[in-house]
Amino acid sequence: MRLTPDQSSRIRRKPRVEFTFDDLPVSGHDGESLMVALMRSGHLHLRDAPEDGGARGAFCCMGLCQECVVRIDGTVVESCRYAVAQGLTVTSLRQKS
């Protein structure tokens, strides 16, 4: 019996929705942030830094650092502040080879 119990099984979430990230299918729970859906699916490398191409991903989780940005409908958005939705088409700011 731990002093800090594992409460993960007591968390209930909304059903999943499907979206795409660089044409790859990803699912997330309706209403959670894009950043988190991507994190849970193992997509931590969200973009490449402009000058040196270094891999970057979520950092501050509160809309300040701009490291978690992705592109939706031609606009760059902070994935930590954008909710997943069914059918969303998300592209990364990674340098495509």
Partner 1 sequence: MTKIYDIAIVGGGIMGCASALRMAEGGMQPIVLDQGDLGQGASGANAGTLSLQIKRVRLMPYALKGHHEWEAMGEAVGFHKTGGFTLAFTEREAALLHERQTLKAEAGAPITFASDRQIREAEPGLTRKVLAASYCPEDGYANSSLTGQYFRRRLRDAGIPYRERCPVSAADPAKEGFNLTTPDGSVHARRLLLAAGAWLRPVAALLGVELPVQARINTVSVTERLPPLVSTVIGHATGLLTMKQKSNGTVLIGGGWQGRGTPQEGRGHVMAESVQPNLALAQYALPALANARILRSWTGFEANVPDFYPLAGALPGVENAFVLGCVRGGFTIGPYIGKLMGDFIMGREPQLPLFDPARSFDEETT
Partner 2 sequence: MMQNTDIAVIGAGPAGANAALTAARHSLSVTLLDEQPTAGGQVWRAKSTAILDAPNTPETVAGSRLRQEIDDSLVTHIGAARIWQIERSEKGWNLYVLRQGRSEVLHARALIIATGAREFVQPAPGWTTPGVLGLAGATALFKQEMTLPGKRTIVSGTGPLVFFVASEIRRLGGEVAAIITPNSRGDWLRCLPAMVSRPDLLLRGARWIADLILGGIPIWWRHAVTRVEGQTQVASIEFRKLTADWSPTGPARRVEGDSLCLGNGLLPATEAAQLAGLWLEYSLQLGGWVPCQVADGGTDIGGLFLCGDGTGIRGAAAAEIHGRLAGLSAVQHLGADTRAERDRLRAAFHRAARFGMAMTSLGIPRPGLLRLTTDETIVCRCESLSRTDIAAEISSGAGSTNAVKSGLRAGMGPCGGKFCQTTVARMIAETEGCTEADVPPPTPRPPLRPVPVAALAGDFRYSELPIPKPAPL
Kindly tell me which of 58 and 69 has the beta carbon lying closer to partner 1: 69
User: Scanning residues 4 to 63, which ones bind partner 1 (CB under 8 A)?
Assistant: 50
Q: Which of 73, 87, 96, 97 binds partner 1 (CB under 8 A)?
A: 73
Element (H, E) at 19: strand 16-21
Please answer whether residues 17 and 10 qualify as being in contact, where contact means their C-beta atoms are separated by less than 8 angstroms: no
CA distances from 38 to 5, 15, 83 (A): 26, 16, 11
User: Scanning residues 40 to 79, which ones bind partner 2 (CB under 8 A)?
Assistant: 40, 44-46, 49-52, 54-67, 69, 75
Kindly tell me which of 10 and 25 has the beta carbon lying closer to partner 2: 10
Q: Return the amino acid letter for 8.
A: S
The distance of closest approach from Cβ of residue 66 to partner 1 in the complex, given in angstroms and rounded to an integer, is 8
CA distances from 41 to 51, 53, 63, 89 (A): 27, 23, 21, 16
Kindly tell me which of 31 and 89 has the beta carbon lying closer to partner 1: 89
